[in-house]
Amino acid sequence: MKVVNGMEQQIEGSRRVLGLAGRNWKGLGKCSKAVRFGVGRLLQTIPIVAALLLAPQTLAAQVCAVGEMAQNFSFPAASWADGTFGPVAYPVVTGGNSTTLTVSVTPNGAVVLDPTPPASPNLGLNGNDPTSLGVQTLNAPAGAIVATFNFGLSRPVNKLSFVSMDVDAYEDVTNNVRFRDFVTYRANGGALLPTAINVDPTRNTVNLGAGTVEAVDPTVGPVDINNRRGTALFCQLNIDACNVTTDFSQSGITSAAAVYSESPAIANNQGQRVSVNQFSWCLPPTTVAVTAVSNGGVGPFNYTGDNGYPGETLTTTVPATGVTGATQTLTTSATSTTITETIPPGYALTGATFTGLGAGGTATPNLAAGTVTLDAAATAAGS
C-alpha cells in the first residue's frame, strides 16, 4: 500500500504469467520490475508459469515416418525352453528407447503337438530362419486350430510386421499323406486386420481376405516322379519360398496374434510345422506443444528450440487464459532438447511445470535464461 493525497491506493503493475503447456515447465522464481506511480518506486514480483507437453502422435505408416523410431526383433538362440508355452518377455532397446515384446503360445488341447525332442513349441531352423519359434502338429483334423501365437507390446506402436515361416501344403498320392496350412492374423484383440499380406498364389499361399491365408491346394496339378505334389516340395527348412510377411500398418497397436490351423478342406495326417519370427515396428514420434499464459496483461511471446522444434510466437488475448501452439514433432527421439522463451522486457519466468515426460525423464528449467532442457529419457519415442 502507498498513501497518495490521503487515500490508500493499491499499486498493482501488469503481471504476466507465461505458460508452456504440454510437458509443462513450472517452477518458482522472482524478477524485480520498476513501476512508477506519482513519486517513489514500487518493486513488484512478477510470477511466470510455463509448460511443455510431449504427447504421442498417431501416424499410420507403411514405413517409419520422420520422427518415428524403427525397432526390430528376432528370437535369440536358446531363449525359449523346448516344449513350453511362455509367456516370455523380450526387451528391445534402440537408441535409448525400450519396448518389451511378450510372446506366448496357446495350444489346442484337442490337437497333438509333436513331443519328439526338441518338443514343440521350440526355436529352430524353418523357412531359412535359424531361430524361428515353431509349433509342429501330428494328425490335425480338417479345420482344427493347432495353436495361437500371441504377441504383446509394452507400449503402443505404429505399424507392426512379422514373418510366418513354411506356410505350405503337400500330398503324397500313393500313400494318401497330405496337409494344407491355414493361418489367420489379428491385432488389438481381434479389432485390427492386416493391411497387407505378401502372397504368391502361383507358389505358396492364397490371400482369403479378412486377415487369412491358406496354402495352395496340393490336390490339384501334376505330380512328380514320386507321385507327390504341393508347395512343400520346394519349401525346405533352409528355403524361404513359403514364408508369409504380415503387415499391420495402423497406429496404436499393443497386441497381435497368428492362429495356425489345418485347412478346413484337408485333414493333416502327418506332421507339419509353422513358425514365426522377424518382427518389426515403428515407435510413435516424440512431440511437443507449448502454451503461453499471461496474468495481468496480454501480448506476444516468442519461443525457439532445437532438435526439430521450429519456434513460434504465441499471443495471449485474455489474462490467465492459455494459448497453445501447434504440436511439433521432434527430429530425434531420446535426445536432449531445449526450448527457449525470449522474455519480453519487464517480465520474468518464475516457474515451470511438466507433463508427459518419458519414463524416468527429467526437465530442467533455467528461469533466468527462460529455458527448459528435456533430457534423453524425457523425449523417449512416443512421449
Q: For 59-92, what is each residue's pLDDT tens digit?
A: 333 488 878 889 999 999 999 999 999 999 999 9
Quick: pLDDT tens for 258-274. Answer: 999 999 999 888 788 99
Q: For the chain, how many structural domains are there in total? A: 2
Asked whether the predicted pLDDT for residue 21 surpasses 80, the reply is: no
Question: Which of 221, 250, 283 is a domain's end point?
Answer: 283
195 and 326 both lie in a single domain: no
What is the rounded average pLDDT for all residues in the chain?
81
Same domain as 279, residue 257: yes
Q: Are 329 and 286 in contact (CB under 8 A)?
A: yes
The percent of residues above 70 in pLDDT, for the chain, comes to 84
Output DSSP code: residue 204.
S
Instruction: Please state which of the ranges 10-24, 227-241, 284-298 shows the lowest mean pLDDT.
Output: 10-24
Region of residue 336 (left: phi > 0; alpha: psi -120 to 50; beta: else): beta
pLDDT above 70: residue 285? yes
Report d(CA 9, CA 78) in Å as an integer: 81
Whether the predicted pLDDT of 11 surpasses 50: no
268 with 296, same domain: the answer is: no
> Is residue 41 situated within a structural domain?
no
Residue 39 lies in a domain: no
Residue 139, pLDDT > 80, answer yes
Dihedral over Cα of 114, 120, 124, 125: its sign:
positive
Q: Is the pLDDT of residue 53 over 50?
A: no
Q: Which range, of 6-15, 143-152, 289-298, 342-351, averages the lowest pLDDT? A: 6-15
Q: Which of 33-42, 220-229, 348-357 has the lowest mean pLDDT?
A: 33-42
State whether 278 and 311 are in the same domain.
Answer: no
- For residues 23 and 73, membership in a common domain is answered with no
Q: Give the pLDDT confidence score for residue 345 in this predicted structure.
A: 85
Rounded alpha-carbon distances, angstroms, from residue 201 to 197, 241, 359:
12, 12, 46
Mean pLDDT in residue range 340-369: 84
- Same-domain check for residues 279 and 297: no
The pLDDT, as a whole number, for residue 94 is: 84
Contact indicator for 246, 199 with CB cutoff of 8 Å? no
Claim to verify: residue 176 and residue 221 sit in the same structural domain: yes
Q: Which 8-state DSSP code applies to residue 63? A: S
Q: Is residue 382 part of a domain?
A: no
Q: Is position 63 within any domain?
A: no
- Burial class for 99, CB neighbours closer than 10 Å (0-12, 13-18, 19+): buried
Examine the domain organization and report whether 212 and 256 are in the same domain: yes
Answer yes or no: is 38 within a domain.
no
174 within domain boundaries? yes
Q: What is the dihedral of CA 137, 142, 147, 148, to 10 degrees?
A: 150
d(CA 276, CA 74): 9
pLDDT of residue 323: 85
Separation CA 342–CA 335 (nearest Å): 23
255 and 117 fall within a common domain:
yes
**In the predicted model, is pLDDT for residue 14 greater than 90?**
no
Residue 62: inside a domain:
no
Shared-domain flag, residues 306 and 324: yes
Q: How many CA atoms lie within 13 A of 75 on its CB side?
A: 26
Mean pLDDT on 304-309: 91
Please state, in angstroms and rounded to a whole number, the distance separating the CA atoms of residues 90 and 100: 5
Q: In the predicted model, is pLDDT for residue 115 greater than 70?
A: yes
CA nearest to 136, candidates 260, 252, 228, 35: 260
Asked whether residue 214 carries a pLDDT value surpassing 80, the answer given is yes
At a CB cut-off of 8 Å and minimum separation 6, what does 36 contact?
Answer: none
Looking at residue 304, its pLDDT comes to 93
Shared domain for 270 and 132, answered yes or no, is yes
Residues 80, 18, single domain; the answer is no
Cβ atoms within 10 Å, residue 209: 9
Tell whether 164 is covered by a domain. yes
Domain boundary among the residues 283, 316, 341 is at 283
Better pLDDT: 26 or 226: 226
Peptide bond into 87 cis (omega under 30): yes
The whole domain housing 312 covers: 2-30+46-57+285-374
Which of 256, 283, 310 is where one domain is finished?
283
219 pLDDT band, cuts 50/70/90, is very high
